[in-house]
Amino acid sequence: MGLFDRHAALLADYRDVQTTGADPFQVRMERVLSPTEAIIDGRKTLLVGTHNYFGLTFDPSCVEAAIEAIRTEGTGTTGSRIANGSYGQHTLLEREIAEFYGKKHCMVFTTGYQANLGVISGLVGDGDHLLIDADSHASIYDACRQTQAGIVRFRHNDPSSLDARLRRLSNEPGNRLVVLEGIYSMMGDRAPLEEFVEVCKRHNAYILIDEAHSLGALGENGRGLCEAEGVLDDCHFIVGTFSKTLGAIGGYVVSDEPDFDILRVTVRAYMFTASAPPSVIASVRQALRVVKARPELRHRLWKNAATLYDGLAARGFRLGPVHGPVVAVLMPDRPTAIAFWRALLEAGIYVGVAAPPATPSGISLLRCALCAEHTREQLEHMVEVMTGIARQMGVLDEEAGPAMN
Ligand SMILES: Cc1ncc(COP(=O)(O)O)c(C=O)c1O
Distance 241 CA to ligand 1 centre (A): 6
pLDDT at 48 > cutoff 80: yes
Taking the centre of ligand 1 as the mean of its atom positions, its distance from the CA of residue 263, in whole angstroms, is 20
The mean pLDDT value for 92-100 works out to: 98
DSSP state of 320: -
Instruction: Report CA(328)–ligand 1 centroid distance (Å).
Output: 17
Mean pLDDT of the region 287-297: 98
| pTM for this prediction | 0.96
Q: What is the pLDDT of residues 12-39, one digit of tens each?
A: 888 888 888 888 889 999 999 999 999 9
**Residue 399 confidence (pLDDT):** 54
CB 211 within 8 A of CB 226: yes
pLDDT at 166 over 50: yes
Pocket test for ligand 1, best of 132, 238, 241, 243 (most atoms within 8 A of CB): 241
Q: How far is the CA of 140 from the centre of ligand 1 (A)?
A: 9
Supply the mean pLDDT for the chain: 95
Mean pLDDT across the stretch 363-376? 97
Distance 37 CA to ligand 1 centre (A): 22
Residue of 108, 109, 113, 273 to test ligand 1 pocket, by largest number of atoms within 8 Å of CB: 113
At residue 356, the pLDDT reads 85
Q: What is the pLDDT of residue 401?
A: 47
How would residue 135 be classed by pLDDT, with cut points 50, 70 and 90?
Answer: very high
Distances (CA, A) of 156 to 80, 133, 350, 363: 36, 5, 28, 14
Instruction: Tell me the backbone φ, ψ of residue 111, rounded to 5 degrees.
Output: -140, 165
AA identity, residue 27: V
Residue 103, pLDDT > 70, answer yes
